[in-house]
Amino acid sequence: MKTPARDVPLKVEGLKVYFRVRRAFGKARAIKAVDDVSFELRSGETLGIAGESGSGKSSVARSLVQLTRPTGGTISLAGAPVTNLTGQRLKRFRRRMQMVYQDPYDSLDPRMSVHDAIGEALSVRGLPKAEHKSEVVQLLERVKLPATVAERYPNQLSGGQRQRVSIARALAVNPEIIICDEAVAALDVSIRAQVLNLLKDIQHDTGVGYLFISHDLSTLRFMADHVAIMYVGRIVEHGTSEEVFSNPQHPYTRALIAAVPSVTSRGHRRLKLSGEPPDPGNPPAGCPFHTRCPEAIDQCRTERPELVTFDGAQTVACHVVQLGRARVAASGETA
């Protein structure tokens, strides 16, 4: 379906987003919302990022579109670093990477008509005002909304329609990448499917790359070519959608997938998750997941596992998985 060896428009290496939190009568401390995250996104492809709330998914998105400045690491778009842009260069960069926000009720200005909201984006692109009207109608058509929507205000639209308007606004500046931060989480299931199909159609037509952030694994399985699972600011498992969903390795991934309600439960190596993810301001030593991991060994409590290639494109950060592979390899040698 997809041709391999495409150009790599978005490359993120060692991304760090720390927040300094100052308490009264206390020392300032850093909350590591995102810690050493790396990934690539090719145009025409979708990378899904999954994780519980507080795992740093949204911080990744916000630092990519430069709503928050990353503390460290590099972000490069089509080979050019974009991490510390300012002024006009930042403005020009922003057009290339757009975001569709989670809350359809807050991401459109309630005092601006749909025409004005999309027109604002067209102005950024430098389109003269006279051509706005026809372009807005075209963009609305592309997101399958009737032209009459242009005169409406956001509160006259349903959640799904608003999200379509948000998508149209993002498309208005011809971006190379669109970040969907829980873009369908607030929608009804039936409308969600329509919006997801719409996004797929747009990708097929324009070759835009999606960074799709969601806590909902079934959405990601439908949308994503590659999936990264995040836990407390780090990627714990990364691979193609096929690899991660059919052969999950990290205990956290397995637990997440097992938690997805399914008619045909495969139930192999089923895991149940209890407790809350740890406070990112005070993460536990070693593997951050060891406090909830049923398979944790002593090494997990002291030593932080690194992302290691498991098979093909799949990388996993887990001591137990590595140990298992080492054992398999050893037994293979002796046999």
Partner 1 sequence: MINLPENELNLAFTASEPTVLSQPNFWRRAGRSLLHDPVALCSFAFIALLAVVAIFAPLIAPYDPLRQFSNGLSYVGAPVSPNGHFLLGTDASGRDVLSRLIFGARVSLLVGVVATGLASLIGVVIGTVAGYVGGVTESILMRFTDMVLSFPILLFCVALIAVTGPSTRNVVLVIAFAYWTYLARVVRGQVLSIKEREFVNAARTLGVGHVKIIRKHIIPHLIPTIIVYATLGVATSILIEASLSFLGIGVPLPQASWGEMIYEGQQYFQSAPWLLVAPGVALILTVLAFNLAGDWLTDILDPAVQEMGS
The contact set with partner 1 (CB under 8 A) reads 65-67, 90-92, 94-95, 97-99, 101-103, 105-112, 120-121, 124, 144-146, 153-158, 160-161, 166, 169, 173, 190-191, 193-194, 196-197, 200, 222
Task: Compute the least distance from the CB of residue 192 to partner 1, in Å.
Answer: 9
Distance of CA 154 to the CA centre of its chain: 25
Question: Could you tell me the CA-to-CA distances from 200 to 143, 169, 175 in Å, in that order?
Answer: 11, 17, 15
Task: Compute the least distance from the CB of residue 116 to partner 1, in Å.
Answer: 8
Task: Compute the least distance from the CB of residue 18 to partner 1, in Å.
Answer: 19
Question: Could you tell me the CA-to-CA distances from 145 to 33, 121, 192, 215, 227 in Å, in that order?
Answer: 37, 18, 15, 27, 30
Our CB check for partner 1 shows the closer of 12 and 316 to be 12
Task: Compute the least distance from the CB of residue 149 to partner 1, in Å.
Answer: 9
Our CB check for partner 1 shows the closer of 185 and 193 to be 193
- Give the other-Cβ count within 10 Å of 92's Cβ: 12
Task: Compute the least distance from the CB of residue 95 to partner 1, in Å.
Answer: 5
Our CB check for partner 1 shows the closer of 96 and 304 to be 96
Task: Compute the least distance from the CB of residue 200 to partner 1, in Å.
Answer: 7
State the number of CA atoms in the 13 A half-sphere of 268 facing the CB.
6
In contact, 316 and 307? CB cutoff 8 Å: yes
Nearest to 2 by CA among 296, 224, 266: 224
The pair of structure tokens assigned to 182 is 């829980």
The pair of structure tokens assigned to 16 is 């760090």
Our CB check for partner 1 shows the closer of 157 and 316 to be 157
Question: Could you tell me the CA-to-CA distances from 147 to 130, 134, 141, 297 in Å, in that order?
Answer: 17, 9, 7, 60
Our CB check for partner 1 shows the closer of 143 and 320 to be 143
Coarse DSSP helix, strand, coil percentages of the chain, rounded to the nearest 5 percent: 40, 20, 40
Our CB check for partner 1 shows the closer of 39 and 222 to be 222
